[in-house]
Amino acid sequence: MIFTFRTIDKGDEMMFTSKRRLAIVCAMITICFWMPSVAGSEGGAIRKADRAETWEFFLPLTYAVDATIKGKGGSSADLNADFGFGFGVGYNFNDHIQLSGLFQWNSRSYDATVVGDDGSTSRYGNTMEISTMALNGTYYFLDGNLTPFLSGMLGYTWVDTNIQNGPPTGYCWYDPWWGYICSYYVPTKIESSMAYGAGLGARYDFNDSFSMQCSYNKSWMDFGNVSGTPDFDIWRLDFIFRMF
């Protein structure tokens, strides 16, 4: 058996990734400013949105900015920026007030600093999976198809650190097609906490079926083993489909 190794310039790879992320974030911000210009190109008239008493399905694209979580004893974790996605369903009680349920997920690499009893430090890198289920309340200031909005979020977050915290557990079974199969599961350290946040953005309803909204959001999580309350900056672009 022959193994072939390929050397990758990590600096070039990180530069390419950073440029790609920056380009997408710039596109998300541009959309926020592009929405008002779309309305202006239609003769300056803002149409009535007719959102009242309708259900909507939305697909959010999120971008979480770099963040640092400070632990006890001088330990810390530097989270790298990355994208996420999700889905949700919302109900518009009228043209101004919406209540929605939301699920979001993203995977972020991180570099952790650990501190020994003697004060020595060491670093390691890993990747964490972050999942959040939340209720989201949104207030649209205007009843037209172009409107700024404020939102508030309350939910629960699970973080899988991918740090092994137990021995692998094996299990086997008989499959009608593949015969006798064995596999194993490696338990990892999982943190969970309440999550809450707020957002500010703008929405544009293109027609009665499709809308887009862009927002900047700030969220906080009450992890038990960290110093203070970590906060996270998130850009979010929603693709909204009105169901009925």
151-181 per-position pLDDT tens digit = 999 999 999 988 877 788 888 888 888 888 8
In this structure, are residues 49 and 147 in contact, taking their beta carbons and an 8 Å threshold?
yes
Q: What is the pLDDT of residue 157?
A: 94
- The b-or-e profile of 169-202 (16+ CB within 10 A means b, else e) is eeeeeeeeeeeeeeeeeeeeeebebebbbebebb
Half-sphere exposure of 39 (CA within 13 A, CB side): 20
CATH architecture of 10-43+53-242: Beta Barrel (2.40)
| Distance (Å, whole) CA 88 – CA 135 | 10
Helix (H, G, I), strand (E, B) or coil at 4: coil
The full set of domain ranges for the chain reads 10-43+53-242
What pTM does this model have?
Answer: 0.78
The pair of three-digit structure tokens given for residue 188, joined into one six-digit string: 């990892």
The pair of three-digit structure tokens given for residue 165, joined into one six-digit string: 């915290």
Q: What is the mean pLDDT of the chain?
A: 83
24-52 per-position pLDDT tens digit = 666 666 666 565 555 555 544 567 888 99
Q: What is the pLDDT of residue 149?
A: 96
The pair of three-digit structure tokens given for residue 48, joined into one six-digit string: 């009535």
67-121 per-position pLDDT tens digit = 988 888 888 889 999 999 999 999 999 999 999 999 999 999 999 898 888 888 8
